[in-house]
Amino acid sequence: MRVVVLTGAGISAESGVPTFRDARGLWEGHRVEDVASPEAFQRQPDLVHRFYDERRAALTRVQPNAAHRALACLEQQLGSRMLVVTQNIDDLHERAGSRRVLHMHGKLRSARCTACGTRLDWREDLAHRPACPRCGERALRPDVVWFGESTLGMGQVESALSRADLFVSVGTSGMVYPAAGFVRIARLFGARTLELNLERTPGSELFDEARHGPAGSLVRAWVQDLLARRPAEVEVTRE
């Protein structure tokens, strides 16, 4: 069996990471569009840097939860037949033990120089405009994908979706493309589709099945169920 799991902010909510479209607003009352677009960065770079610096620092205070661990456990069984495509920029999947993780919206612990294009592992703040170690320009930005920018790894994602037997969406509102369109692609290529989310989403009806509740218990139950099936069923691989 080949499985593609798309994850969003909801999977990290039980670890204490805020989601984007929560009723309380994302951060200090800002909407996501006010802090996650190139226009926002151009208009208010200090504000945008502070938003990402705070989230980067907060990573040291959060831990993976049962949902991240269950996906890592499934990967141990399925190996290269499983891919986690995450919209999240935290590193909780990796810290839970997953190795096959594609960060389509970039990573918090990475910085990119807008002068020379270098990508760097980055743990420090950026608001004080540190110099790029490669070219010396003070032009580092968070290595994340904002609205209007190209998402990462789409060739690999489309290839995995086209071969998947099962597509599972976990903890995402399905409001942001291209991730919101993956369920249609997976269905087109014949995969069964399952949504695991706290509540119904605008796209719930596109899935063959939707289960609602906290990701920690939903994902753990789904993985246990899958692994309890006859091994032959989990072994089935599409031509």
Closest approach, Cβ 179 to ligand BJW, in A, equals 7
* Residue 21 vs 123, nearer CB to ligand BJW: 21
Q: What are the structure tokens assigned to 208, written together?
A: 């063959």
Closer to ligand BJW by CB, 1 or 108: give it: 108
Q: Which residue has the tokens 């369920």?
A: 183
The window from 92-100, 175-183, 187-195, 231-239 that contacts ligand BJW (CB under 6 A) reads 175-183
Is 20 an interacting residue with respect to ligand BJW (CB under 6 A)? yes
**Alpha helices, DSSP H, located in the chain:** 9-13, 32-35, 38-43, 45-58, 66-78, 92-96, 154-163, 182-188, 215-228, 231-235
Residue 161 exposed, middle or buried by CB count within 10 Å (0-12, 13-18, 19+): buried
25: left (phi over 0), alpha (psi -120 to 50) or beta: left
**By CB under 6 A, which span of 6-14, 74-82, 110-118, 225-233 interacts with ligand BJW?**
6-14
Burial of residue 207 (number of CB atoms within 10 Å: 0-12, 13-18, 19+)? buried
Site string for ligand BJW, 39-78 (x = CB under 6 A): ----------------------------------------
List the one residue from 122, 172, 194, 207 that touches ligand BJW (CB under 6 A): 172
Return the number of the residue (2 or 182) whose C-beta is nearest ligand BJW.
182
Instruction: Say whether residue 185 binds ligand BJW (CB under 6 A).
Output: no
Binding-site member from 15, 98, 193, 197 for ligand BJW (CB under 6 A): 197
Contact residue for ligand BJW among 100, 105, 112, 163 (CB under 6 A): 105
Nearer to ligand BJW, 130 or 178 (CB): 178
Other Cβ atoms less than 10 A from the Cβ of 130: the count is: 13
CB of 118 to ligand BJW, least distance (A): 20
Task: Based on the residue annotation, tell me whether 105 is a catalytic residue of this protein.
Answer: yes
Stretch of 118-126, 131-139, 194-202, 223-231 contacting ligand BJW, by CB under 6 A: 194-202
Report CA 176 to chain centroid distance, whole Å.
12
Q: 140: burial class by Cβ within 10 Å (0-12, 13-18, 19+)?
A: buried
Report the C-alpha gap between 82 and 22 in whole angstroms. Answer: 30
Cα–Cα separations (whole angstroms), residue 32 to 19, 47, 146: 10, 12, 10
Residues that bind ligand BJW (CB under 6 A): 8-10, 13-14, 19-21, 32, 36, 87, 89, 105, 144-151, 171-173, 175-178, 197-199, 201, 214-215
